[in-house]
Structure 1
């Protein structure tokens, strides 16, 4: 039987971690200046990459981390450092001039991973899949994952309308704001990873 409570719990957990409203300024900052068609493709690519990563780790994540001898805190610190590099580019304006290579990379990194499919989302999915009982529980968990990624795609896809309203000056402002937010997220993620290292958790 489909577990509605588990579906709601997993969906809300992923919503808080992946933060669709919070991803909007970052997505706008990373896609500014690109044609609308490219921006829409990047929204789809980022969602697909995040879903692929989450799916792989949901199915065999624990085994992958154990085989590579990688701890969750290490994953958190690595993801935080990667986000910090992108945030510095946004803050200094180095990401303002788009190229085809940058189009692909922005959808894959940092949007798809580690911003959407970050350590927090990965660990939450691993635990949810392990704790789900029977096919009803598994169906609830995977339905929540699919629903969350659908929400992410819709938010990014239609956030492009904001660019048409705020024009070029607003885009520059949003880019700098997204860089600041992303740097804060990165520092917090690194701090959380270091704290877990020190405390011995993970």
Structure 2
């Protein structure tokens, strides 16, 4: 037990956040966005994208549940709805266009805000990732220390994303576009299982089964 969070919970949260952020799937997007800018500027673009994504995700982690409470939505209800949405999101990762294919098609090379769009949003801080960090933290169940662990896991996954972007060219040569697509679909399968688990657990809590 570390800070009121078991190793199993840490692994569960890491798997969920890693799946929805999909650091490997971000690599082809980063390569395309930075293809025509100087090599020394790519590091700044990657760092800015990760910092912006961190602000968005940590903001949802901190303020998500208080906002729900303010509008009278029970977290377990949100967790059930969120699990269903995450499951549908996972299905799009498995059966739909892969993350690289989908987001590369949205890129405008004349856009001065590469780091914000499409890198930070929606590639790193995707709607699924925003939803996941809210679902994974329950102020009525987990103490502040446990939520800090979730925040640390989120930052850790973002750090992995940053490292992969900084190593984008070698990684792209290693796995290729097809490899990134395969990894994205595997992450979708993992996310689908996690989403089902979230729904089942929320139903048990909600109805006292």
Q: Same fold (TM over 0.5)?
A: yes
C-alpha spacing 1:66/1:174, structure 2 compared with 1 (3 Å): same
Gaps of 5+ in 1: none
CA RMSD of aligned residues (A): 4.0
The alpha-carbon deviation at position 30 of structure 1 amounts to 4.2
- What TM-score comes out, normalization by structure 1 length? 0.66
Residue 173 of structure 1: which of 168, 172, 178 is its match?
178
Residue 93 of structure 1: which of 101, 105, 125 is its match?
101
Answer yes or no: is 1:33 the counterpart of 2:18.
no
Residue 160 of structure 1: which of 165, 190, 197 is its match?
165
The alpha-carbon deviation at position 11 of structure 1 amounts to 8.4
Q: Is the 8 A contact 1:28 1:174 kept in 2?
A: no
C-alpha spacing 1:92/1:114, structure 2 compared with 1 (3 Å): closer
- In structure 2, the residue matched to 1:108 is 121
Task: From the two aligned structures, give the one with the greater helix fraction.
Answer: 1
Residue 74 of structure 1: which of 74, 78, 81 is its match?
81
C-alpha spacing 1:65/1:156, structure 2 compared with 1 (3 Å): farther
Cα separation, 2, equivalents of 1:146 and 1:195: 24
Cα separation, 1, equivalents of 2:152 and 2:7: 8
- In structure 2, the residue matched to 1:17 is 13
- In structure 1, the residue matched to 2:193 is 188
| SS at 1:66 equivalent | coil
Matched positions, count: 189
The alpha-carbon deviation at position 185 of structure 1 amounts to 3.6
Residue deviations 1:95-152, cap 9 Å, x none? 3342358862553336324443444x433311xx3246xxxx53x2354344333323
The alpha-carbon deviation at position 92 of structure 1 amounts to 8.6
Displacement over 6 Å in runs of 4+:
none
Cα separation, 2, equivalents of 1:193 and 1:58: 16
Gaps of 5+ in 2: 35-41
